[in-house]
Amino acid sequence: MIKGNAVIGQSGGPTSVINSSLAGVVTAAGTSDLISGIYGMNYGIEGLMNEWLFDLGAQPDDIIRGLRHTPSSALGSSRHKLKEEDFPRILSVLEKYDIRYMFLIGGNDTMDTIHRVEAYCRSKGYELTGVGIPKTVDNDLFGTDHTPGFASAARSNILNVMQAGILARDMKKVDQFVIYQTIGRDAGWLAAATAMARREEGDAPHLIYTPEHIFDRDSFLADVDRCIRRHGWVSVVCGEGVKYADGTPVSASVVKDKFSNTEFGAMGGASVAVTLHGMISSEFGIRGEFQVPESLIMSDFVRALPTDLDEAWQCGVEAVRMAGRGETGYMVTIDRISDDPYEIRYGKIPLGEVAIAARPMPGEYFNEAGNFVSDEFIRYMKPLTGELPDFVRLKKVMVLK
């Protein structure tokens, strides 16, 4: 193994625990005999190409410790899609700063970035060890049981839906429905997680729609009608990436990002929640609300889970250990050993198996109708969400005269 400097970057959307992974890398790198200095890309791979580099080794210890309890992306993020003409520039910067170890924290697009950089350097005879560190609230990376950041974002959603459901239940004589939209372009993990808010049969949410299932307007309205007749109101949760049978987004969004991903809720299309709100109002002539928190759940540190923060940290530490063993071209994984008691271990998966593609939820995690989750999914989620609050409701003890 060659001795040299290391660089780390953060890409894509932030999470409430991504900086904990950063702190793990910096701390572990500081004890490595192979890593001389540790640099941080300011604004991801774009920052590397522009030589915008933090000297993370010069940061005070209290700042690095504080990263473990700070949300968002401390280094600044990027969604730059690599072009062929970028690679010579990247290599020249790596050579200039004697960078021999690269760590990127992110989702499938980020894993594609580090995979391509590592492969290019190898093709040019430049020794670079590249390791990916998983991060995405969407939980859609292949090869890992779950991703750091997902559990905390899921908890944020769960508490939002739980409390909004209590409000909607008590206000059903005014507004008879509430629609909650969550992020999740290609997979419904975050939307499905809100099922944990339900304690009793009539609790929110009543219906959950995700990108794994084709959305049908008539079936949706029939589901809504059934719930209103039964409960007097309905709570609907939808993922932003819900589509019709022909592939058209329910949001009607036409905006694309640099990776050709649909920008749901961006200019050029309404949100799914607004669209569904219009369907219900038009069909039944009733009032209701829609709620779209967008990226707020990605940086909701108040609801971040200690286990999630610790796993994010350990993924950063494990990435440095892998690099020290010469294991290049891999992403760190979290492998679940047991549900009860909850137990995991850290593994690895080749970057090429993670890059670009999103992992949908397995079919067995849904009910037969595709509008709610199964008991198997509840078992998967239970160790991740932490303790949830117990709210009470008045007993139906009425005054008799």
165: helix, strand or coil: helix
Reference 275, options 340, 181, 191, 168; nearest CA is 181
Cα separation, 282 vs 63, in Å, equals: 53
Q: Going by C-beta distance under 8 Å and a sequence separation of 6 or more, which residues neighbour residue 52?
A: 41, 42, 43, 46
CB 67 within 8 A of CB 49: no
Count of residues in the chain: 401
Q: Pick the catalytic residue: 86, 109, 112, 138?
A: 138
**Would you call 55 a catalytic residue per the annotation?**
no
**Nearest C-alpha neighbor of 272 from the set 231, 293, 302, 242:** 242
Report the sign of the C-alpha dihedral through residues 206, 210, 212, 216, in that order. positive
Is 317:311 a contact under the CB 8 Å cutoff? no
Beta-bridge mates of residue 182: 239
d(CA 17, CA 19) in angstroms, rounded, equals 5
What amino acid occupies position 343? E
239 C-beta neighbours (distance < 10 Å), count: 29
For residue 308 the two structure tokens come to 């999630």
What does DSSP assign to residue 194? G
Three-state secondary structure call for residue 188: coil
Q: Which residue matches tokens 């991703």?
A: 147
**How many angstroms separate the CA atoms of 197 and 200, rounded?**
9
**Residue appearing with tokens 């730059």:** 80
Which backbone phi and psi does 319 adopt, to 5 degrees?
-60, -40
> Taking the C-alpha atoms of 352, 354, 360 and 363 in order, what is their torsion angle to the nearest 10 degrees?
70
Write out the catalytic residue numbers. Answer: 138
